[in-house]
Amino acid sequence: MSGFTPAQRAALLEQLLVRRAAGETFKAIAATPGWPSRPTLRKWLRNRPDLDVPPLRARPTRWSAALSRDICRRVLDGESLRAICAGPAMPDRKSVLQWARARPGFAGRLADARARSGAPATGRPSRFRLTRDMVVNEICLRLCDGETAEQACAADPDYPGHRTLYDWRRDDPDIDRKVAEASRIAAETKAQANLPCMRAYLAEVEAYRRWITETAARPPPPKPETPPPRTSTAPRRRSP
C-alpha cells in the first residue's frame, strides 16, 4: 500500500502531468517531499491508460554552436554553470565540460565569460584556465606561421575574436608576452625568407655605385677641334 487516498492520487497525477510538460524528470518529481517513489508513480500511470503523459525530451549531448553561445551569454550574465545546466532544454554539466575539453575555443570563451561576469569566486581554481592557455598557444603558432591576429582568430569558429585576444593581452602579462614573441618570430622568419632577394638587390646597388664611381673618375673625352672656316678662291662676280 502506498498510503495515498484516491483523491490524493488524482491530485498528484494532475500535478505530474503539469510537471512533466514543464520538462521535469520522474527522478526529480519523485524526489519532491511528500511524493511517492518512481515505481509507484509508474504503477499509477499503468492503471490510468487514459492519461496522456508527455514524453520527456532527451537532453542534448552533441555539440551545438547555438547552445554554446547561449551558455556563454548566460555565464556572462552571472549565472552559474550548474544553474544553466539544470534547465530541461540544456545539456547536463558533464556534457558541457566534455565540450570544453574537446574544444579549447569554447573553453576559452567560457572562461572569459566567467571572468567578465563579476560573479564571486567559489574558491576553486577554474578548470578552463589551462584550456584558455591552449587556445592562446594555438593562436601563437599561427602567428609564427605569418598569419595576422585577425586571420589567426578567424581560422576556427571556436577561437575568440581578435578584440577578445587584445583584452586577454591587456589583462594577462603572460599572454601578452607569448603573442609578442610569436609576432617577433614571424617578423624574423619573413626577413630570413626575403634575405636572398635582399642580397641580390644590394649586389645590384653596389654594382651600380661602382659604375657611377668609375664613370666619374674617367677623364672627359677631348673635344673635337673646330676646323678653320673655308675660304673661296673663285673670283667674285662684278655687278654690271
Cα–Cα distance, 38 to 26 (Å, whole number): 6
Whole-number pLDDT of residue 215:
72
Per-residue pLDDT tens for 114-168? 888 876 555 444 444 546 777 888 888 888 888 888 888 888 776 777 888 888 8
Per-residue pLDDT tens for 161-190? 788 888 888 878 888 898 999 888 888 887
Contact 164/112 with Cβ under 8 angstroms? yes
Contact 53/20 with Cβ under 8 angstroms? yes
pLDDT (average), residues 75-96 = 83
pLDDT band of residue 101 (cuts 50, 70, 90) is confident
The DSSP call for residue 194 is T
In the predicted model, what is the mean pLDDT of the chain?
A: 77
Q: Is the pLDDT of residue 213 over 80?
A: no
Whole-number pLDDT of residue 166:
84
